[in-house]
Homo-oligomer: A and B are copies of this chain.
Amino acid sequence: MTILEPVPGRSVPCEACPFRSNPMFRDFSPPELEFISGFKSGELNAEVGTTLLLEDTNSPYLYTVLAGWAFRYKMLPDGRRQILNFALPGDFLGLQASVFDRMGHSAEALTDMILCIFPREKLWELFAGYPSLSFDVTWLAAREERMLDENLLSVGRRSALERMAYVLLHLFRRAEDLGLTEGDRVEFPFFQQHLADTLGMSLVHANNTLRRLTSQKIVHWKHKVFRLLDRDRLAEIAGYDFAERQPRPFI
């Protein structure tokens, strides 16, 4: 388990940021783009399994995911783990340490990743000079809250089958929005243990529940490739409310 330090190296200039062509992200004005370019202090290449953030420690950096998947989690002293949410390209990591003085959760890379690094002491300049960008930060925090609300509803009140259906559909849709899917396929870079820890159930029960969905040919999952065979049926089981999709901030 390693804690990361940024490494020097070539990095994607913000002007060429791949998200700029994604319709899910809003456009930057030239001054915004210029500020962000200066805000970004480098890039971090993280391997699978890297601990990106560690609960109760401070983090001098704020990250956005440029490529790859990670997950946020908390652990109890005896090792029980709860996965709180997943971080995909475009997501923030480490805001808590910038706003308070230490992280309330940890985060780990699920794949090799590229992260944009922002020094947290410059966050104040963003708020002071770029109201539209500080609104975007609030937007992201509110979106995270909304996802947590949903997950809490799942874990607290949905049955195992409903929970499993919900999280699979949720993750598929997030990947879809980012153009990570090909038709009904997507690469899910995690194991059944991760699903179990997300949904608050045991590995064995997660396996049984998942197989109820695969045996009915609603989904398919092998060798990390997930296929959404019957979306309507899955949404029906999940009780999924088709939330609006709207342009999201860049940062």
Chain A residues close to B by CB (< 8 Å): 56, 72, 74, 76-77, 80-82, 84, 95-96, 99-102, 104-105, 124, 127-129, 131-132, 134-135, 137-139, 141-146, 148-153, 155-158, 197, 199-200, 239, 241, 243-244, 246
- What are the residues of chain B within 8 A of A152 when measuring CB–CB? 74, 82, 84, 148, 151-152, 155
> Complex formed: what's the CA distance from A101 to B148 in Å?
18
Choose one: B74, B127, B131; the contact of A153 (CB below 8 Å): B74
Tell me if A104 and B150 are in contact (CB < 8 A): yes
Contacts A144-B145, A200-B156: A246 and B150 contacting too (C-beta < 8 A)? no
Residue of B at shortest CB range from A130? Answer: B131
Provide the main secondary structure of the chain A interface: helix
List the B residue with the shortest CB-CB distance to A144.
Answer: B145
- CB-nearest residue of chain B to A99: B142
* B-side contacts of A82, CB under 8 Å: 152-153, 156-157
Q: How far is the CA of A95 from the CA of B145 in the complex (A)?
A: 11
* 13 additional A-B residue pairs with CB within 8 Å, beyond A104-B149, A144-B145, A151-B152: A76-B239, A81-B157, A84-B149, A95-B138, A96-B146, A100-B244, A124-B131, A124-B135, A134-B134, A138-B138, A141-B145, A152-B152, A152-B155
Give 5 pairs: A residue, B residue, CB < 8 Å, sorted on A: A80-B158, A81-B157, A82-B157, A99-B142, A138-B138
Q: Report how far A157 CA is from B124 CA in the complex, Å.
A: 36
Which 4 pairs show the lowest CB-CB distances between chains A and B?
Answer: A156-B200, A141-B141, A127-B131, A148-B148
A139 and B81 alpha carbons, distance in the complex (Å): 26
Contact A128 B127 (CB under 8 A): no
A105 vs B144: C-alpha distance when bound (angstroms): 14
Measured CA separation A153–B244 after assembly (Å): 28
- Give CA–CA (A96, B155) in the complex, Å: 22
